[in-house]
A and B are shown apart, each in its own frame.
Chain A
Amino acid sequence: MRLLLAALLVAGASGAAAQQQPFDMTPERPPVEEAEPLPQPAPTEDDVEEEPEPEAAQPVQPVRPTQPAAEARRQLLPDGNLVLGGESASRSWAVHLTAAQAASAATLHLGYQNAVVAAPESSRLQVFINNTVVADQAVRSADGVASIEAAVPPGLLRAGRNDLTMRVRHRHRTDCTIASTYELWTEIYAAQTYLSFSDSAANTFVGVSDLRALAPDAEGRTMVEIVAPAMERLDMTADILRLAQAVALYANQTNLEFSIASAIDPERRDQSLRVLLGSLEELQMAAGTLPPGAAQGSVTTFLPRNGESVPTLVVSGRSREEWRAAIDQLLAPVDRAGGTRREALITESWRTPNAPMVYEQRNLTFAELGIPSEQFSGRRYMRSFTFAIPADFYAGSYGEARLLLDAAYSSAVLPGSSINVYVNGNIAASMQLTERRGAILNQMPIKVTMRHFRPGLNEVTVEAELLTEQDDACLPGAAADETPRFAVFDTSRFVMPDFGRIGQYPNLSATAGTGYPYGLANDPVAIVLERDDLAGISTAANMLARIALAAGRTIPVSATTSTDAARQQDAIFIGAINAIPAGVLAQVGVNEDSRTSWTTAAAAPAGQGPDQASLDDWRRQMERPGFGDIGDWFSRTFGITIDMMRFTPTDDTAYLPSQADALLIAQGTNPAGNGVWTVIAAPSTDQLAAGSAGLADHRTWGQLSGRVTTLGSDLRTTMSRPVASASFVESQPPSFTNYRLIVANWLSANILSYSLLLVVACVLLGIGTSGLLSRLGRRR
C-alpha cells in the first residue's frame, strides 16, 4: 500500500495539474497548509511602511533610546537579541499590554541584521501580531542593522494578552548543502524592537493587573527593586520574599531580577518596576507623597506616574498586619493552592504555546504543541515543541517516548536523508528515509529515549535533513526552488507512556524545573541567611521568584539564622561561603575546606582554564581500547561503557569548588532525612550579589542539575555534578505499576543488579521446580 501511494506521489509530482499539492493525502487529513499558514491576511497591508528598498542594505543609525518624548515604548523581545537561524525559523510568544497601550495607535519597530549569504530575493522576514501580518519583507540587511517600521492596524492590539510571531525564511545565495543552512541567520535586536504608542501615557500602570504588562529592557532583563525602609529595624525578609514571588507570578518574565534595598536610590533608573513595602508612615518618609486613599487600610496601588520615573507600586497599610494583608490581596488572583495539578507550565512570555504538563500516559498532537501542517522545499527542516514533566520523573534510564509522525517526502529526496529528533539539544533518535520513490509516513513511530528528559520544561526538536540530486548539482537558483520536498502534518503525535514517578533528593533539576520540593510546601520553608545581608536577600528573592514561577505558586517561607530550626524541614541556605552555618556544607556534599580554599582573593589563576594541556588527557584521547574497531562498534551500537557495569550507585566525594566558580548551588537531604537543603553560596557577599543576577537568567536556571551546580565567573557557563546516590521519597499513592517502573529504572541504571536479581530468581525457580517435580507426577 505504501508503495502504491509512493508511486502515486511520484506520478502526481511530475504531473503539472497536481503540482499545487503534491502531498495531498486521503480525505481524512486536514488540508495541507501552505508555508504561510496564518489565516487572516492583513487587512491593511498597504499601511506597512517598508523602507525604501535601495537603502535597505545601508547601515541604519542605531536607534537612540531617547526619541520624541511624546511617544511611549514597549520593548518586545523577552530574552535580549533573538537569532532566527536555518532555512525556516519561527518564534512565538505572548505580549501583555495595558488597556491604554492597546487603545493607542501603535507602530511596530524592528531592528535586524542577517547573514551575508542569505539570498534577499528568496529570504523573508515576517512579523505577526495576533495572527495578522504586520510586517513582511525581504531579508536584505547583511551590512548593518536595518530597522523596519510598520503601523499596527488599529484594533489589532488587545488589552492583556497578544500573540506575537516572528518568522524568517532563508535561502542560501550560492550553496545547496545541508551544512550551508547553518550559515543562515537573522538577528533581531532587542533595543530596536518595540511598539511605540502615540499616547505618551500609555505605559502608565493603573491597576495591579497591569503588572502583567511589565516589559523587559533592551537586554531582556526585567529589574524589580523592592524598597523596604523598615527592614533595618524589623525582620521583614519573609514578607519581602513573599512579595517578590507575588510580583514574579504577575510578571512572568524570562529574566526577572530582584534587588532589595532599604532606601530609594533616586539615581537609579534601570528598574522596570519599583515596589515600596512598609507602613504608610515609613513609606511617606521614604518616598514623599503617597496616593490618596492610602490611609484607609491595606493598599496596593501604583504611584501616579511622574514623567520618566520608574513605575512604582506601593504595598502598604497603617500597620504591619495591614501591609501583610496587602501582600495577600496582591497574591490572591495569581496564587495556586498546593496539591492542585497544573495543566501547563507557563512559558508564554518567551514561548507559546505553554508547555503542557505530562503527568502520565499522554498523547499530544503537533497541533496542540504548536506545530502546524506545513510543507518545505529546503534542505533542513526544523521545528521544536515543548512539554513539561513533573519533578518526580524517574524514567531516564529505561524510558522511551514515541513520535508518531505523519509526514511525507517526495521522490526527489534521496535515500540517506534522515529525520533526527533532539531532546534538550541531545540527539535522541534518528530515522533514515529509505524509499527511493518518496513515501507517505502514516503515524510512523520513532522511539525517543527519555535519557535527556528533565523535570519541568523539555524541548523536543524534529529535524529533517533532506538530500536531493538537485542540491548535489546545485545549479544557480536551485537553492531557491519552491518545489516542496517534505511535509509534516499536525496530526503527528508525541506519545508519552506511563513513566516511573518517585521524588529524588537531591535533584537540582527538579528544583529548577518545577520548584521541587519547595513548590509543594504548605509549611514555611526555612530561608537561612545572615541578617542585613542585602545580597543574600536579593539572591533569595531571585531564587524564590524562579521557584515560584517553576512551581506556578508561591512558596511559604520563614527567615531564620539558625540551622537548628531547619533540621527537620526543607530549607535554603544563602550566603558567602564563610557565613554558611557549620555542618550544612557536609550535609549537601560540599567539602568543608571550601570555606578557606574558595576565597575571593584568588581570582581564577591562569592554567586552570580548559585550555591547559594535560598529558593524561592526551594519552586518554590517543589510546583506544584494545578491542579497536569492534569495541568501538559495540559501544556505539549498544551504548555500553565500563562505568555502567555496577551493582549499586557509587558514593560520591564531597565537592570542592574551584577558583573559577563564582556561585555554587548544592543540594542534599536534611539531617532528619525528611527534607531537602539547598545551599547557594559564593566566595564573598559581593560575588553572591553578582552571581544571583546570573541565576536570575532563565537559561542559567535551566542548567541546574545533579547535586551541585556551579556558575563560572562569566555567570553563563555552568558545571554540574551528577547525583550519585539519591534518596527516594514517595510522591505518588502506592501502586504496583508505578513501583514496577521505578524498579525498572533503578535496575536499568544499575545494570549488574538486574543480572544478579535475575540469576537469583532463576536459581530459586530452579530449586522450586526441582522440589515440585519430585512431588508431582510419577517418581519412578
Chain B
Amino acid sequence: MNVSMIMFNQWITYGYYAMTFVFALALAWNLWKSKDPQESILYVVILIPFVLRLLRLK
C-alpha cells in the first residue's frame, strides 16, 4: 500500500511536468503566431518559469 501511494504521487508529479509542457507548447505556439510585438514579449516572459520548471532548474 505504502509503495503504491508513493508511486501514485510520483506519477502525478510526472503528470504535472507533462501539463507544464503542454501549456508551454501552447504559449510557444501563440508566440510563433503572434503579430503583436508587445504580446510577443509577454509570451516570452511567461515562458521563462515554464521552461525552467520543465528543465528542473527552479
- Is B a genuine binding partner of A? no
